[in-house]
């Protein structure tokens, strides 16, 4: 993913987005973690892709696509936090434990959309909303 999606996007956008490093990083992370993951999962399991029915396949795998979107967003936020932590003085053990727990919680929540079960996208959204008390 890094070789085929992140690095080329980061390099090409370097010339165009030199004044906006966060936007450049965002685009490169999304190219790798979102576009790359979706591409990998769709070509791995699908005859419809070979037949040119891309939209139909994306709709069929919308839970996976949403999972890849959330994953890319999480990777980007994590990279920004790591950059900030390098510049800040070292924090205590409690802060480190809270950061680790936050990452675990994030992955636990987005795992709802990881396609291992038979639930539809709407079932997964409904489950998530009920879980956080919004439905």
How far apart (Å, rounded) are the C-alpha atoms in residues 6 and 30?
Answer: 8
pLDDT by residue for the chain (135 residues), tens only, comes to 788 888 888 888 887 877 888 999 999 999 999 999 998 888 877 777 778 888 888 888 899 999 999 999 999 999 998 888 777 766 788 888 988 899 999 999 999 988 777 889 999 999 999 999 997
* Domain extent listing, the chain: 2-131
Closest CA to 62 of 11, 122, 13: 122
How far apart (Å, rounded) are the C-alpha atoms in residues 109 and 66?
Answer: 12
């Amino acid at each position: 993913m890094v070789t085929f999606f992140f690095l080329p996007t980061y390099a090409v956008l370097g010339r165009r987005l030199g004044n906006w490093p966060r936007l450049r990083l965002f685009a490169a992370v999304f190219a790798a973690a979102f576009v790359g993951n979706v591409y990998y999962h769709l070509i791995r399991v699908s005859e419809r892709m070979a037949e040119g029915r891309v939209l139909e396949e994306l709709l069929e795998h919308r839970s996976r696509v949403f999972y890849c979107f959330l994953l890319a967003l999480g990777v980007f936020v994590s990279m920004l936090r790591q950059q900030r932590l390098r510049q800040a003085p070292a924090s205590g053990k409690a802060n480190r434990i809270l950061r680790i727990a936050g990452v675990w919680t994030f992955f636990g929540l987005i795992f709802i959309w990881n396609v291992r079960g038979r639930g539809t996208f709407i079932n997964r959204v409904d489950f998530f909303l009920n879980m956080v008390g919004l439905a």
